[in-house]
Amino acid sequence: MLIRISLIVAIVAALAVGVLNIVQVRDKINTLITERDTFHSERDQARTQLADTRQELAKTKNDLAQTQQDLADTKTQLTKAVADEQSQKKRADDLTDKLAKTSQELDDTQNQLAAYKATGFTADQVGGLAKALKTSQTELDAVKEENSVLNRTVARLNVQINELVGTNYVVTLRADLKGKVIAVDPKWDFVVLNIGGDQGVLDDGEMLVSRDGRLVAKVIVRSVMKDRSIANVIPGWQLGQVIEGDVVTPAHPAT
């Protein structure tokens, strides 16, 4: 009887140990499954981050290449602008010399005409001299006009060069420059002026808008034509509504 009881106790103990082992094994299996799922999740997340990093690296390389190309283009434009300015200055100097020479020739012609009249030469001879004088005057006017165009071109190139270089350059305009507003677009904050390149207006030149001697706004020129220009109202400088007929004068007149 004692043996049977011992056997039963041993069987029960074995079953208890088996159940305990099963519970422990199941816990270990669940732990392993959890660790496996966590590993897979972290691996997938790492792969996603790696793909994102590679994509950002590729974009950064492309941006760097574009920036380097833009810098090279800017340097090329700057070199060309400097060369153009030097060429225009040389041409302006040549035209100035030509203007002085033509003025001297005009003076000589006028003196000769007076001398011929004083000597009592014929009308045909005087007419020839008058024709030569008119031709010289026409050439002189043409040279003056070309010289004026070149001076405006040199001024415009100077503005472009300073913009490329990045200096705090202020565009100065003729001190006697004066015009009027002939059109207004309040939606887009731009105005049309009745003065342009022929009158000495330059790109990025700032002008004060006034009415009856009172400041209304400040505008900056964005587009210059022969006898017209378009300017934008500068934010923070609009003290009143700009209307047609308002007077514009240089904000930075040349001394």
Triad 115, 119, 125: Cα angle to 5° = 80
Q: What is the pTM of this model?
A: 0.40
Q: Is the dihedral of CA 144, 145, 147, 152 positive or negative?
A: positive
Task: For residue 235, give the H/E element and its range.
Answer: none
179-250: which CATH architecture? Beta Barrel (2.40)
State the Cα angle at 25 between 20 and 28, rounded to 5°: 130
Report the range of poorest mean pLDDT among 111-125, 176-190, 241-255.
111-125
In angstroms, the Cα distances linking 28 to 20, 58, 179 are 12, 44, 91
E strand map for the chain: 179-185, 190-193, 206-211, 214-224, 229-233, 247-250
**Which 3 state secondary structure label does DSSP give 181?**
strand
User: For all residues of the chain together, what is the average pLDDT?
Assistant: 79
Q: Parallel, antiparallel, or unpaired for β 214-224 and 247-250?
A: unpaired
Higher pLDDT, 191 or 122: 191
Q: Helices 2-119 and 123-165 meet at what angle, rounded to 10?
A: 160
Q: What is the pLDDT confidence band of residue 90, given thresholds at 50, 70 and 90? A: confident
In this prediction, residue 176 carries a pLDDT of 94
Query: What is the radius of gyration, based on Cα positions, of the chain?
Result: 43
- pLDDT by residue (tens digit) across 97-128? 888 888 888 888 777 777 666 666 566 665 66
Q: What are phi and psi of 107, to 5 degrees?
A: -60, -45
Query: Residue 89: which pLDDT band, with cuts at 50, 70 and 90?
Result: confident
* Cβ–Cβ under 8 Å, residues 161 and 85: yes
Q: How far apart are CA 54 and CA 171, in angstroms?
A: 47
Please list, in sequence order, all residues whose beta carbon lies within 8 angstroms of the beta carbon of residue 203, skipping any fewer than 6 positions away.
156, 159, 171, 221, 222, 223, 224
CA distance 202 to 220: 10
